[in-house]
Amino acid sequence: MLNGNSLAQIGKQQFSGLLRYMAMLALALLVFALVLLIFGKNPAQAYADIFSSTIGSSYGLSEALVKVIPLVLCALAVLLPARIGLVNVGGEGQLYMGALLATWGALAVGDSLPAVVGIPLMILLGFVGGGLWAAIPAFLRARGWLNETISTLLLNYVAVLWVNFFVFGPFKDPESANFPQSVLFADSVRLPFIGNSRVHFGLVLGLIALAVLYFVLKRTRWGYEMRAIGGNPEAARRHGLPLTRYILVTMFIAGGLAGLAGMGEVMAIQGRLRPGFSPGYGYMGFLISWLALHNPLGVVVMSFLIAIIALGGDTLQITQGMPFSSVNVLMSLILFIVLGKFFNNMSFGWPKREAK
């Protein structure tokens, strides 16, 4: 049982860690400000424009939440395997395959099902599509045939090509002339929007996934065993933990979460399947999970921050004449500074050299 002093000490440590984390983010923003100064731009005005165009208005805030939905789901798809020592770089491909299988289901059922059946069916198909795609590298990793980092990364390109094949071929709308896209989905299979904004039901799915993962990782035996596997897989194997089962199940669930992100994009935002419908949500989810140091609550904060920065790219183009790629520079600076501090605190089993 934790006493008052123990709880106070834990709270103090968490607050101290939050301050250090915010200091690193401030350092990244300062470095980016120097970059803006070098190119003759006003950093204070640039940051003011970014935040005023996003969280400074109800419309900007709702658009930020639209981007937060796939970012959170794709970040959780990286966070979960990381708990057992796996590196899932395949969120983008799993997102595409979730959208592809959901599209197949939407075109197959059309408007023959009521929304109370059609929407849960699309959610299930999106989850299964991403999960099955992630199960391929999981099986290869469990058998010891191929590292999951390489296989998940390469399968991203295969998934994109699969989607292009179906959009240009069997799923193509015959009335769209030469523009490749599927037919418009029936309302009975599309995710509902919240209020008058473009924020859709995927936000609820993301919050549910976040709450469930937080509870499982922090409060259950499975979360404890996952930490044990991630800390020392060989010791966990010797103690009888089923490593193969954990690899397969964890990667399937992770891929399913990314698949939900893809399903949400086509079943809510796009209303149909198009090539290149994702601006790289899977890759940004990988960035977010590492920035949050694979912490579920940190994923929410970093997803919102990255969403604001991504939306701010358009603003910088208009107000500062900066190219859209400038936001990628800022994201990279944040990643390098945060991870640089993280890895600097890790010895990786090597003794630290003493100062002479």
Residues near 282 by beta carbon (within 8 Å), at least 6 away in sequence: 74, 77, 90, 91, 92, 93, 94, 95, 156, 258, 261
The answer as to whether 168 is a domain residue is yes
pLDDT at 72: 96
In angstroms, the CA 79 to CA 253 distance is 11
Residues near 156 by beta carbon (within 8 Å), at least 6 away in sequence: 89, 90, 92, 93, 96, 282
Tokens read off for 69: 């939905």
CA angle 156, 292, 82 (to 5 degrees): 55
The answer as to whether 198 is a domain residue is yes
Average pLDDT value for the chain: 85
The answer as to whether 122 is a domain residue is yes
Residues 220-268 pLDDT 10s = 999 889 988 988 888 888 888 889 999 999 999 999 999 999 999 999 9
Structural domain for 228, as ranges: 56-282
* Contact status, residue 271 vs residue 193, Cβ threshold 8 Å: no
- Structure pTM? 0.86
pLDDT at 215: 93
Comparing 28-32, 66-70, 227-231, 277-281, the range with the smallest average pLDDT is: 28-32
The answer as to whether 30 is a domain residue is no
Q: How many domains does the chain have?
A: 1
The answer as to whether 297 is a domain residue is no
The answer as to whether 321 is a domain residue is no
pLDDT at 2: 47
In angstroms, the CA 199 to CA 290 distance is 26
Comparing 96-105, 126-135, 154-163, 237-246, the range with the smallest average pLDDT is: 237-246
pLDDT at 164: 94
